[in-house]
Amino acid sequence: MATDTRDTWELDILGIPFGDYAHRDADGEYFDADTELHADKFGLPPLVHYHGYGDDKKHLPEPEYVGRTIRRWVDKAGVWFRAVLNQDSIRAAALWVAARRGTVRASSGSVAHLVRTAPDGHIKEWPVAELSIFDMATGKNPANRLAVVRPGAKAASVRIGLPRGAEASPVTPRAVMAADKYLVAQARQKAIEVLLRED
């Protein structure tokens, strides 16, 4: 039987959105299918909250690792990652709820001295060292708003009434609203359990 991704808190993340000169990000740069990510050398990146910054946008003493990536694939939109959130993390619980509401975005992080960018903003070399996610509802904004984060396909299929394990249709606002109460309650309960274990 297929595992329900509501239980495993899985997300599909467009970590490397493809663009072009006319569709550059807030930094005036863009990825495309020719960008070298060196996936064979760096493997699957860890999942981090907001590049290691706190809610005050200052570096934390220790970055918050909120999960891990388990798969990577490419389509015409860009490079996607399947990630699993850490269910022992209160931050991850909040991100899970926010992802269900559609307010989470992503940003990939590289190793600065290995990055190469053309004068027109084309990112030619970008070894992916980490993948960050964060909730835009808390005042954070991605460099590229196309870097979307959505519940894993199986979670979406269950939510919109398809058989468990079936391929999901596009997630709609109505589908999100229909499951919101359930998902908020689940995440709240998980956060309470974590707090009780820490006492």
* Tens digits of residue pLDDT in 14-35: 999 999 999 999 999 999 999 9
What predicted TM-score, i.e. pTM, was given to this entire model?
0.76
Residue-number span of the structural domain to which 42 is assigned: 5-198
Domains of the chain: total: 1
How many CA atoms are closer than 13 Å to the CA of 84, on its beta-carbon side? 12
Q: What are phi and psi of 22, to 5 degrees?
A: -80, -10
User: Residue 66 CA to chain centroid, in angstroms?
Assistant: 10
DSSP string, 71-138: EEEEETTEEEEEEEE-TT-HHHHHHHHHHHHT-EEEEEE--GGG-EE-TTSBEEE----EEEEEEGGG
Query: What is residue 27's predicted lDDT score, i.e. its pLDDT?
Result: 97
CATH code at 102?
A: 3.20.16
Which portions of the chain are predicted below pLDDT 70?
Answer: 1-6, 154-196, 198-199
